[in-house]
Amino acid sequence: MKLSKRLEMVAQCVPIGARLADIGSDHAYLPSYLAMHKRIEFAIAGEVVQGPFESAKTTVDLQCLNQYVDVRLGDGLDVVCLDDKIDTVTICGMGGELITQILERGRLAGVLQNVHTLILQPNMAESHVRKWLMAHQYRVEQEYILKENQKIYEIIVAHASINSVAYTEKEVMFGVYLPLEKSDTFIEKWTNELQKIDDVLGHLEKSSRDTTDKKAYFLRKKQSIEEMIQ
C-alpha cells in the first residue's frame, strides 16, 4: 500500500505505538498503512458516510488488519470511547472549521481526556484550527507544508500542554514554525492568497454597496501577507 505524499507525511508524525483515532477515514489508508508497518498498537477508523465506511472496511478486510484497525460508522469523535484508550487523533482532508467542530464536540464529550497528540491537516482555514488549539491548551510542536497534485497542504502536529498556550495573530494566520522556514511552498501559498485578495478587492471596488469595512479587512490581510513574504 502506497500512501499519498500528504498522508505519508501525516503517518510519519504519528507516535510509534500510538492508539490512534483517524476521523474521516475514507478508505482507512492511513491507519491500515500504520498497522501494516507495525507503527501503531491499535486504530479506530471513523467515518460518517456509508460509502467511505464500506471502502474503509474493505481495505482493512483485504489487508487482514481487523485485529488492529476497527472501522466504525459515526459522526466525528462519537466513535471513540474512553475504554479505547486513544492517545492520538488524526483528522485530515477536511476544512479547518469542520476539524474544529469535530474536536470541540469530542472535547465536550470528554473523549479527548487522554489524547496527547493531535495531527491535523486542514484543506483550508488553518487559522481556525490554530485558534482552537490555543484556546484548549494544545501546543503546536511541528508544522509542515507540502504540494501535491497542484494543491498545497499544511499539517499541524499539536501536543496537550499543562500550561496555557498563546500565539500572536501572525502565528495563528501563518503558522508557528512555517514562517521561520519560509519554504518555496509557503511563499507560493501566500502569493496565491495575495492574488485572491486582489481579485476580491477588484470586485469590492466595483460594487455599488458600501464595502468600506470589507475593503479595510482585506487590505489589512494583504499588508500582513506582503510583510510576511517580502
- With binding defined as CB under 6 A, does residue 49 bind ligand SAM? yes
Q: Which of residues 168-207 bind ligand SAM (CB under 6 A)?
A: none
The one among 36, 48, 109, 228 contacting ligand SAM by CB under 6 A? 48
The residue (of 39 and 221) whose beta carbon lies closer to ligand SAM is: 39
One DSSP character per residue, 164-214 reads -----HHHHHH-SSHHHH--HHHHHHHHHHHHHHHHHHHHHHH-SS--HHH
Q: Which one of 75, 198, 199, 226 is in contact with ligand SAM (CB under 6 A)?
A: 75
The answer to whether 224 and 173 are in contact (CB under 8 A) is: yes
Q: Residue 94 interacts with ligand SAM (CB under 6 A)? A: yes
Computed from CA positions of residues 110, 115, 117, 123, in that sequence, does the dihedral angle turn out positive or negative? negative
Distance CA 72, CA 190 (A): 37
- Nearer CB in complex with ligand SAM: 106/175: 106
Query: Could you tell me how many residues of this chain bind ligand SAM (CB under 6 A)?
Result: 17
Per CB under 6 A, 52 contacts ligand SAM: yes
Residue in the block written with cell 476539524: 99
- Paired strand residues for 69: 43
Q: Does 102 bind ligand SAM (CB under 6 A)?
A: yes
Shortest gap between Cβ of 212 and ligand SAM (angstroms)? Answer: 37
Nearer to ligand SAM, 45 or 160 (CB): 45
* Beta-sheet strands, E only, within the chain: 18-23, 40-47, 69-73, 88-94, 117-122, 138-148, 151-160
Q: What residues line the site for ligand SAM (CB under 6 A)?
A: 7, 23-26, 46-49, 52, 75-76, 92-94, 98, 102
